[in-house]
Chain A
Amino acid sequence: MSEAWARLKKHRAAVISAWVIIILTLIAILAPVIAPHPYDEQFLDQVLASPNARFWLGTDSLGRDMLSRLIYGARVSMAVAFFTAILSLLIGTVYGAASGWFGGWIDGAMMRFVDILDSIPSLVLLILVKVVFDSFSLISEPEWKSMTSMLLALSLVSWVTLARTVRGQVLQVKQMAFVEGARAAGSSSLRMVGIHILPNIMGPVIVLLTFQIPANILAESFMSFLGLGLQPPFASWGVLANDGWRTLRSFPHLMISPGVAIFTAMLAFNLLGDGLRDALDPQMRGRM
Chain B
Amino acid sequence: MNGLLKVLRLAPWILFGACVLISFCGFNLNPIFIWLTLLSFVVELGLVAVKKGLVFYMLRRLGEALVTLWLIASLTFLLLRILPGGPFDEEKALPPDVKASIEAKYKLHDPLLKQYADYLKGIVTGDLGESYKYTGRNVADIITESVPDSVQLGIYSILVAYLIGIPFGVWAAARQGTWIDALLMTLAISGVAMPSFLIAPIFILIFCFGLGWFEPALWLGPAYYVLPTIVLGIRPAASIARLTRASVLEVIRSDFIRTAKAKGLEESKVLFKHVLRNSMIPVLSLTGPLVASVLTGSFVIEQIFAIPGSAKHLIQSVSNRDYPLILGMTLLFSALLVIANLITDLLISVIDPRVKMS
Interface residues of A (CB under 8 A from B): 112, 115-116, 118-124, 127-128, 131-132, 135, 214, 218, 221-222, 225-226, 238, 241-242, 245-246, 248-249, 255, 259, 262-263, 266-267, 270-271, 274, 285-288
- The reply to whether B205 and A249 contact each other, CB–CB distance below 8 Å, is yes
- B282 x A287 contact (CB < 8 A): yes
A-B contacts besides A135-B84, A222-B299, A262-B193, 12 pairs, CB < 8 Å: A116-B68, A120-B333, A121-B334, A124-B314, A124-B330, A127-B314, A214-B193, A248-B205, A249-B205, A263-B193, A285-B250, A287-B282
Q: Is B344 an interface residue (CB 8 A)?
A: no
| Chain A residues closer than 8 Å to B296, beta-carbon distance | 121-123, 222
Would you call B292 and A122 a contact (CB within 8 A)?
yes
Q: How far is the CA of A128 from the CA of B314 in the complex (A)?
A: 10
Give chain B residues whose Cβ lies under 8 Å from the Cβ of A225.
195, 197, 300, 303
Q: Which residues of B are at the interface with A, using a C-beta cutoff of 8 A?
A: 68-69, 71-72, 75-76, 79, 82-85, 189-190, 192-195, 197-198, 200-202, 205, 209, 242-243, 246-247, 249-250, 282, 292, 295-296, 299-300, 303, 314-315, 318, 329-330, 333-334, 337-338, 341
- Of chain A, the residue at the smallest CB distance from B202 is A248
Q: Is the CB of B282 within 8 A of A116?
A: no
Complex contacts, A128 vs chain B, CB 8 Å: 76, 79, 318, 330
- Identify whether the interface residues of A are mostly helix, strand, loop, or mixed: helix
Query: Can you pick out 6 interface pairs between chain A and chain B where the beta carbons lie within 8 Å of each other?
Result: A122-B292, A135-B83, A222-B300, A225-B300, A249-B205, A266-B194
- Expressed in whole angstroms, the Cα–Cα distance for A218 and B300 within the complex equals 12
Q: Is the interface of B mostly helix, strand, loop or mixed?
A: helix
With A225-B197, A267-B193, A285-B250 as contacts: A131 and B318 at CB distance below 8 Å: yes
Chain A neighbourhood of B243, CB < 8 A? 288
**Which A residues are CB-close (under 8 A) to B76?**
128
Closest 4 CB pairs of A and B: A266-B193, A248-B201, A123-B296, A267-B193
B68 adjacent to A119 (CB under 8 Å): yes
Q: Which residues of B contact A122 (CB under 8 A)?
A: 292, 296
Residue among B282, B318, B341 with most chain A CB within 10 A? B318
A77, chain B: closest CB distance, angstroms: 12
CB distance from A214 to the nearest CB of B (A): 7
Neighbouring B residues of A248 by C-beta, 8 Å: 201-202, 205
Cα A259 to Cα B192 with chains together (Å): 13
**Nearest A residue to B333, CB-CB:** A121
Contacts of A115 in B (CB 8 A): 68
- A285 pairs with B198, CB closer than 8 A: no
Q: A127-B315, A267-B193 are in contact. Are A120 and B198 (CB under 8 A)?
A: no
Q: Judging by beta carbons under 8 Å apart, are A285 and B299 in contact?
A: no
B201 to chain A, nearest CB (A): 4
B209 proximity list for chain A (CB < 8 A): 249
Q: Which residue of B has the minimal Cβ distance to A258?
A: B198
In the bound complex, CA of A246 to CA of B201 (Å) = 8
Task: Return B189 CB to nearest CB of chain A, in Å.
Answer: 5
List residues of chain B with CB within 8 A of the CB of A226: 299, 315
| Distance A135 CA – B319 CA, assembled complex (angstroms) | 12
Of A123, A218, A242, A245, which is in contact with the most chain B CB atoms at under 10 Å from its CB? Answer: A123
- With A218-B195, A225-B195, A267-B190 as known contacts, state yes or no: A119 contacts B337, CB within 8 Å: yes
Structural contact, B193 and A270, CB atoms closer than 8 A: yes
Q: By the criterion CB–CB under 8 Å, are B292 and A286 in contact?
A: no
Q: Is A271 within 8 A of B189, CB to CB? A: yes
Q: How far is the CA of A214 from the CA of B239 in the complex (A)?
A: 14
**What's the Cα separation between A127 and B314 when bound, in Å?**
9
Q: Is the CB of A259 within 8 A of B334?
A: no
CA distance A259 to B190 in the complex (A): 12
Known contacts being A116-B72, A124-B314, is A286 close to B79, with CB within 8 Å? no
Residues of A within 8 A of B68 (CB): 115-116, 119
**Bound complex: CA of A176 vs CA of B173, how far in Å?**
38
Is the pair B198, A245 in contact by a Cβ cutoff of 8 Å? Answer: yes
Query: Known: A119-B334, A128-B76, A225-B197. Is A285-B246 also a contact (CB below 8 A)?
Result: yes
